[in-house]
Amino acid sequence: MVTLIGKKAPSFKAAAVVNGGEIVNNYSLDQFVGKKYVVFFFYPKDFTFVCPTELHAFQEQLAEFHSRNCEVVACSTDTEQSHWGWLQVDKNKGGIKGVTYPIVADTTKIISLNYGTLKGDYDVDDNGNLMATDEMIAFRGLYLIDKAGLVRHILINDLPLGRNVDEALRMLDALQYFEENGEVCPANWAKGKAAMKASHSGTAEYLAKH
C-alpha cells in the first residue's frame, strides 16, 4: 500500500455533524489548510462499544488540541443521521452526547478508501457482478495533518484495539517542536524533554546527556 506520509491529505466534501447536533453539507478539511493542524481519525461504527470510549477520550482532551491550534475531526462510514442520533444518547447509555467536534459521514466509503483505512475492497465475481470483500467499514485510522495540508503521522489499529489520545497529543507536540526548533524527537520524547540536532554530532550530544 502506498503511504500518505509527506503527501497532501486526500480532499473531500461530505455531510458532517458539528457542534453536537448540527448537520452540515460539503464539510471539508480544506478549510484548515494554511491555518490549523488537524487530527483526523476514523472509527468503525456508531452505536458500538470501543468507539464511544475513543470519541469521549478525544472530547476530554479537546481543549489541549485547540491550545495547540489543532482541530479534531472524526469520521465513519455511517450516515449523518446515524451520527446525529448517537449524539443524542447519554454517555451512560452508550452514546456520545457531549462530543462537539465534527463527525464526518463517509457514506460512499470513498474517504476511507482514499485514506487507506477501509476494511475491505471492491471486486468483481465470475459473473461480472460487483462485490465487497469485507465489511467495508473503517479501521481505527488516525492522521496528523500539518498546516500545509500534508500528512505527517499515521496510525491504523485493527477494530478491537482502541487508541491512546495522549499519544496523538505527543505526536502533535513532536511535530510542532520540530517545526519551531529544527530539532528531531527521539524515541519516547515528550514535551519538555531534550530533542536532537539532525546530525551525528547532535546524536552524540543527546546521548552524552542521557
Which helix (H) or strand (E) segment holds residue 114: the answer is: helix 110-114
Q: Which of 38, 106, 43, 105 is nearest to 68 (CA)?
A: 38
Instruction: Write down the pLDDT at residue 207.
Output: 42
Is residue 51 flagged as an active site residue? yes
Q: Which of the residues in the chain have pLDDT under 70?
A: 1, 199-210
pLDDT in tens, 139-194: 999 999 999 999 999 999 999 999 999 999 999 999 999 999 999 988 998 888 88
The answer to whether 18 and 27 have CB atoms below 8 angstroms apart is yes
Domain with CATH 3.40.30.10 in the chain: 14-161
Q: What is the pLDDT of residue 1?
A: 58
Give the pLDDT score at 61: 98
Residue 199 has what pLDDT? 64
CATH number of 14-161: 3.40.30.10
Closest to 40 in 3D by CA, of 136, 185, 172: 172
DSSP conformation letters of 37-96: EEEEEE-S-SS-SHHHHHHHHHHHTHHHHHHTTEEEEEEESS-HHHHHHHHTS-GGGT--
Give me the pLDDT at residue 114, please.
96
